[in-house]
Amino acid sequence: MHWVSNAVVLLLVLGAIWLARVVPRERYWRENALELWRRRRVAIAVIAAYLLIGLLDSIAWVDAASEANALTSGRPATIVDRIFKPESLKEASYSAPLASVSFYGGQPLAHPGAHLLGTDLLGRDVVYRTLKGVRVALLIGGLTSLVVIPIALLFGVSAGYWGKRIDDAVFFAMTVLASVPNLLLLIALIMVLGKGTVQVCVALGVTGWVHFCRIARGETLKLREADYVAAARALGVSDAGIIRRHILPNIAHLVIITFALSFTALVLSETILSYLGIGLDGSWGQMIDQARNELSRTPVIWWNLAGASIALFTLVLSVNIIADAMRDVIDPRTRREGR
Amino acid sequence: MAAFLLRRIGYGLLTVLGVLFLLFVLFFAVTNPDDIARKAVGERARPEVYAQWKANHGYDKPLFLNKAFAGGDMRRYTDTLLAEHYRRMLTFDFGRSDADDSPIATRLWQGAGPSLSLTVPLFIFGLVAAVALGLFVAFFRETYIDRAVLVLCMLTMSITSLLYIIAGQYLVGKLLNWFPISGFDPNPAVVARFLALPVLVGIVAGIGADVRFLRTVFIEEMSRDYVRTARAKGCGDARVMVRHVLRNALIPILTNIVVAIPFLFTGALLLESFFGIPGLGSLTVEAIQGNDFSTLRTMVYIGALAFILGQILTDISYAIADPRVRLG
Amino acid sequence: MSAPFLAVDRLSISFPGEGGGVRVVDRVSLNISAGETLALVGESGCGKSMTALAIMRLVPKPGRIEDGSRIEFEGRDLLTLPVPEMRGVRGAKIGMIFQEPMTSLNPVTTVGDQVMEAIELHAGLSREATRARVMELFALVGIPDPKSRFAAYPHQLSGGLKQRVMIAMAMAMRPKLLIADEPTTALDATIRAQILELLRDLSAKTGTAVLLITHDFGVVNEVADRVAVMYAGQIVEEGTRLELLSRPRHPYTQGLLRSIPKPEARGHRLEEIKGAVPRPGHWPSGCRFHTRCPFAFEPCPTKEPVRTSVSATQAASCHLVARELAQGARP
């Protein structure tokens, strides 16, 4: 269903454009964003690169070229597919990086020296596979969170703001969900729902929802007692107005930081799911899992593991760095100018 | 204190009931017993075989409402899968595995020992290492040592535990050959050799996040006024860090620690599976790979019980550690 | 007047910041003699607390005491003492109490244990002897029912009681000097009077000198023998209590005293010192007060005033005062 994927991408891009127009208008966001850019240019550039690759890998369409493609045959080919033309790079089986002969047997390769990180068991170029994994990772961490956050905010803020019955109900639901160890609940959900992409994302969403909800609820509880909220109420601002103007903006930065951290947690936990056999197809976790066996051979086949690990590590590290920097930027105590 | 305890345990029980309901919905409503039977017995068995299998495993009753009984009869509600589920789970009657028909309770007992022998040392050594390192780094905050350790923490936190295990097995097991790559022998004389590597890997995988958290807590405490008073009295650095900072930092730390204690039982899933330790974690992984819903259901339940117990213990320990909570 | 046993000489404290750092305490010099109470007065941010912390060498990082500063105590420079020796001074020879008794006491240990620690650190007494001493101290500082209070936690005590505990802790080893950093600012008015009275009595009874940091001239009036006024990191005037309260020479001191609301001035506009305290590092050139001084004249914006003695005990750093004295004007 490539048009679904394309539609989602379009929505995301439109959302990004909207953000790019709205953010600079608010001085608080503009200053924080600029400060963040100033401090962590490399990490931001890295993440931007990943986003670009993911984007390129999400826009797909079917045409004569993809029909002929042995790897995609009939499935829509993405831009990444078209750039790499994996079918034309395919080998028989393993080959070392930049080798001209196959790993076992030493037969000459179809494309000697063309594989920067070698090929895997099925002869697929490892660089290509790594790049395809970008989209999967962004899907797991990003898309899931993006869907989960509005729902969690809805429940969390409602519970925190209106309290009493709503709070009791939401808190109980949160407690029940949170009582089951995350991994176990995840596993149970996937076993029950099935092992497809959508199901895994739903499972990740259900388990991740609680974290956001708890934070939203906690912060709303605190903010509800703030003096400026009392002042706003005294001025006659409606509940919706208070939520929109005072509560949401003040939990926004916390939500963003939590989003970044939950992104990394989700991507890392997917690797565990892949090991258990219930992860997403084409993910780095899957590559790492396959690599496990390869390490025990002599001589060791390491390039599959290397490609996936480095890609994963770089992405997670960059997001961690940004999340950390965001926390510093927003906390007034660590900002050096102004007070 | 007693009232607080009672209330807390009461809420815990309520949560258990909620969890059981969630489990029921997941395991019986989303996948129905027919599918489970089919997965266990095979696709092409005769209907009687399915029915018999379901009867054996207690899957043969209706889900919520047993319409065979009249409106006023209690059995309308109690002779259902839901009621059965509650009854059995609350009495710890776990039944048999869907995969190999073995009694689950027995497997639990067998697995508990190996799990504990892995997770208890992991927990204790990991805690000691993290606290020591955290205190050290907090004391040297804003210096090169601090910055170096922070960078290290950031790096180590960004690596998936899968990689740690793989790297650990490869480097220490294969290249250096210090410890066996996997396996388990409960004989006290040799058990340490098999546990050394998983414990080591487990500590290294988790220490980055722990040290960062502890460092933040310690630094927060160090900036408090009473630390200044202690120094003004003439306290030396070591005394300040241990007698004053650590003692106060215990309170937020406890929340994280005591919650983890019940997990000592459920076992470290990945570690056990990779290192061939026949504990509860391995049991769970087997259940996943074997589509053994009944065992999986039990493991999730045990996990939830452990967590709820952990929460209650945390609240209690909080009251013990913080005189402000205890004495009001 | 006895010889000073604490002499702060050209103390400067700076913090890192834009443009090479900010000096929050600028060449401050003070003397304290045995048994006397010196009040260090000034508004928030003038550097008085830092000065006090410097004597104990407790200036918080990243602040540092600059070279050239000297704090002489009992014949030795405290700033060059090796750390173990300094620890021997803290709590034993010089005691310190702080502004917020609520947060200045360890919340998870009993107050009795905390005062015991003050003794254990310096005297090797047995547990019973230490405990007995703590009881004595509690009685000394006026804590009622010492036995039950011993096992109490800080949060169970009122603000006044907590401050008494702090004083007991600081006085445990009969220090020569007690530094009190705004000890009554966080307390209610009635308790304030009690604590000040306690400080006065203790000082008289034990012969301990007191360095009292405050922004409140009312407090100064209650307990001080001598007063030093700080502005923007510098001492601008010093003298005996009587001299400063009745005949202040520095325009800043005069402004401070004038701005105290008086009942007889009811119905009239409140007096104020025009302008605001400049931020550290953004001080005006020359005399730091000149931008707000009603008497500023030609040398003030460009030249820093020197310390001019008005009498044997009073001195001010002001060009106007210097000129008046040179011309033989009546003080």
Q: How far is B159 from chain C (nearest CA, A)?
A: 34
Q: With H, G, I as helix, E, B as strand and everything else as coil, classify residue C60.
A: coil
Average pLDDT in chain A? 79
CA distance A80 to C247: 86
What sign results for the dihedral spanned by CA atoms A258, A264, A268, A270? Answer: positive
| pLDDT value, residue C1 | 45
CA distance B39 to B33: 10
Q: Is the minimum CB–CB distance between A292 and chain B shorter than 8 Å?
A: yes
Kindly state the tokens that stand for A186.
């995840």
CA separation, residue B93 to residues B89, B90, B105, B108 (Å): 6, 8, 8, 12
Is the CB of B226 less than 8 angstroms away from the CB of C87? no
Strands (E), chain A: 60-61, 77-78
Which of chain B's residues have a Cβ under 8 Å away from the Cβ of C100? 225
Say if CB C47 and CB C13 are below 8 A apart.
Answer: yes
DSSP secondary structure letter of residue A114: -
Which of chain B's residues have a Cβ under 8 Å away from the Cβ of C91? 232-234
Best of C108, C155, C165, C167 to disrupt the B interface by mutation (most B CBs within 10 Å)? C108
Burial of C312 (0-12, 13-18, 19+ CB in 10 A): exposed
Say if CB C14 and CB C63 are below 8 A apart.
Answer: yes
Nearest one of A22, A79, A18, A85 to A54, comparing CA atoms: A79
CA distance A228 to A270: 42
Which of chain B's residues have a Cβ under 8 Å away from the Cβ of A321? 154
Is the CB of C108 less than 8 angstroms away from the CB of B323? yes
Nearest one of B262, B152, B140 to B211, comparing CA atoms: B152
Nearest one of A47, A142, A126, A147 to A286, comparing CA atoms: A126
Neighbour-count burial for A143-168, b at 16+ CB within 10 Å, e otherwise: bbbebbbeebbebbbbbbbeeeeebe
Q: With H, G, I as helix, E, B as strand and everything else as coil, classify residue A235.
A: coil
Q: What mean pLDDT is predicted for residues A284-303?
A: 78
CA distance B7 to B1: 10
Nearest one of B223, B154, B133 to A327, comparing CA atoms: B154
CA distance A120 to A228: 60
| pLDDT value, residue C130 | 92
Q: What mean pLDDT is predicted for residues A316-330?
A: 85
Averages of pLDDT over runs of 10 residues in chain B (328 residues) are: 82 89 78 70 75 72 67 68 78 75 82 84 90 89 86 87 82 72 73 82 86 88 90 90 88 75 68 84 83 83 84 81 74
Q: Is the minimum CB–CB distance between B285 and chain A shorter than 8 Å?
A: yes
Which of chain B's residues have a Cβ under 8 Å away from the Cβ of C118? 233-234
pTM of the predicted protein model? 0.79
* Percent of chain C with pLDDT strictly greater than 90: 39
Neighbour-count burial for C10-19, b at 16+ CB within 10 Å, e otherwise: ebbbbbeeee
| pLDDT value, residue A4 | 66
Q: What mean pLDDT is predicted for residues A248-252?
A: 79
Is the CB of A179 less than 8 angstroms away from the CB of B15? yes
Q: What mean pLDDT is predicted for residues A126-150?
A: 84
Q: How far is A25 from chain B (nearest CA, A)?
A: 33
CA distance B182 to B166: 12
Which of chain C's residues have a Cβ under 8 Å away from the Cβ of B247? 106, 108-109
Q: With H, G, I as helix, E, B as strand and everything else as coil, classify residue C233.
A: coil
Whether omega for the bond prior to residue B103 falls within 30 degrees of 0, making it cis, is no
DSSP letters, C19-48, are TT-EEEEEEEEEEEETT-EEEEE--TTSSH
Domain A125-330 has CATH 3.40.50.720: no
Say if CB C145 and CB C177 are below 8 A apart.
Answer: no
Burial of A19 (0-12, 13-18, 19+ CB in 10 A): exposed
Q: With H, G, I as helix, E, B as strand and everything else as coil, classify residue C181.
A: strand
pLDDT band at A1 (very low <50, low <70, confident <90, very high): very low
Is the CB of A309 less than 8 angstroms away from the CB of B30? no
Which of chain B's residues have a Cβ under 8 Å away from the Cβ of A271? 160, 162
Whether omega for the bond prior to residue C299 falls within 30 degrees of 0, making it cis, is no
Q: pLDDT tens-digit profile of C146-182?
A: 888 899 999 999 988 999 999 999 999 999 999 999 9
CA distance C258 to C249: 13
Please report, for chain A, the start and end positions of each structural domain, with discontinuous segments joined by +: 1-85, 125-330
Look-up: residue for tokens 């160090």? B222
Chain Cα centroid distance, residue C316? 18
Say if CB C142 and CB C173 are below 8 A apart.
Answer: no
Is the CB of A291 less than 8 angstroms away from the CB of B166? yes
| pLDDT value, residue C282 | 82
| pLDDT value, residue C98 | 92
Report CA Rg, chain A: 23
- As a three-state string, the secondary structure of A234-285 is HCCCCHHHHHHHHHHHHHHHHHHHHHHHHHHHHHHHHHHHHHCCCCCCCCHH
Neighbours of B239 (CB within 10 A): 17
Strand duo C22-33 + C4-15: pairing: antiparallel
The third-level CATH classification (topology) of the domain covering C6-93+173-326 is Rossmann fold (3.40.50)
Q: What mean pLDDT is predicted for residues C312-321?
A: 89
Predicted confidence (pLDDT) at residue C235 exceeds the cutoff of 80: yes
Neighbour-count burial for C182-192, b at 16+ CB within 10 Å, e otherwise: bbbebbeeebb
Neighbour-count burial for C198-228, b at 16+ CB within 10 Å, e otherwise: bbeebbeeeebbbbbbbbebebbebbbbbbb
| pLDDT value, residue A86 | 66
Q: Which amino acid is at C147?
A: K
| pLDDT value, residue C105 | 93
CA distance B89 to B301: 8
Q: With H, G, I as helix, E, B as strand and everything else as coil, classify residue C228.
A: strand
Q: Which of residues A277 and C193 earns the better pLDDT score?
A: C193
| pLDDT value, residue B72 | 66
Predicted confidence (pLDDT) at residue A41 exceeds the cutoff of 70: yes
Is the CB of C98 less than 8 angstroms away from the CB of B235? no
Say if CB B239 and CB B247 are below 8 A apart.
Answer: no
Q: What mean pLDDT is predicted for residues A264-275?
A: 86
Q: Which of residues C114 and A121 earns the better pLDDT score?
A: C114
Say if CB B99 and CB B41 are below 8 A apart.
Answer: no
Say if CB A188 and CB B296 are below 8 A apart.
Answer: yes
| pLDDT value, residue A336 | 45
Burial of A51 (0-12, 13-18, 19+ CB in 10 A): middle
Strand duo C37-41 + C209-214: pairing: parallel
Which of chain B's residues have a Cβ under 8 Å away from the Cβ of A316? 158-160
Chain Cα centroid distance, residue B122? 13
Look-up: residue for tokens 């009635």? C190
| pLDDT value, residue C40 | 94
Is the CB of B291 less than 8 angstroms away from the CB of A179? no
Q: Which amino acid is at B318?
A: Y
Is the CB of B228 less than 8 angstroms away from the CB of C104? yes
DSSP letters, B196-243, are HHHHHHHHHHHHHHHHHHHHHHHHHHHTSHHHHHHHHHT--HHHIIII
First to last CA, chain C: 23
Predicted confidence (pLDDT) at residue A337 exceeds the cutoff of 60: no
Look-up: residue for tokens 């690759």? A53
What sign results for the dihedral spanned by CA atoms C89, C92, C98, C104? Answer: positive
Predicted confidence (pLDDT) at residue C189 exceeds the cutoff of 50: yes
Q: pLDDT tens-digit profile of A25-35?
A: 777 777 777 87
| pLDDT value, residue B111 | 83
Neighbours of A128 (CB within 10 A): 24
Q: pLDDT tens-digit profile of C30-51?
A: 999 888 999 999 888 788 999 9
Say if CB C305 and CB C283 are below 8 A apart.
Answer: no
Q: How far is B258 from chain C (nearest CA, A)?
A: 19
Q: pLDDT tens-digit profile of A58-108?
A: 776 666 655 555 555 556 667 777 777 666 677 777 777 777 777 777 777
Q: With H, G, I as helix, E, B as strand and everything else as coil, classify residue C235.
A: strand
pLDDT band at C111 (very low <50, low <70, confident <90, very high): very high
| pLDDT value, residue C119 | 92
B142: β partners: none
CA distance C69 to C72: 10
CA distance C99 to C48: 13
Contacts of B35 (CB under 8 A, 6+ apart): none
Query: In this predicted structure, which of A51-55, C272-276, C327-331 has the lowest mean pLDDT?
Result: C327-331
| pLDDT value, residue A236 | 83
Look-up: residue for tokens 């949060």? C155
Predicted confidence (pLDDT) at residue C29 exceeds the cutoff of 80: yes
* Percent of chain A with pLDDT strictly greater than 70: 86
Nearest Cβ partner for A172 among B16, B18, B303: B18
Please report, for chain C, the start and end positions of each structural domain, with discontinuous segments joined by +: 6-93+173-326
The nearest alpha carbon in chain B to C117 belongs to B233
| pLDDT value, residue A334 | 53
Which of chain C's residues have a Cβ under 8 Å away from the Cβ of B142? 61-62
CA distance A92 to A120: 9
Average pLDDT in chain C? 88
| pLDDT value, residue A257 | 82
| pLDDT value, residue C209 | 93
C210: β partners: C37, C178
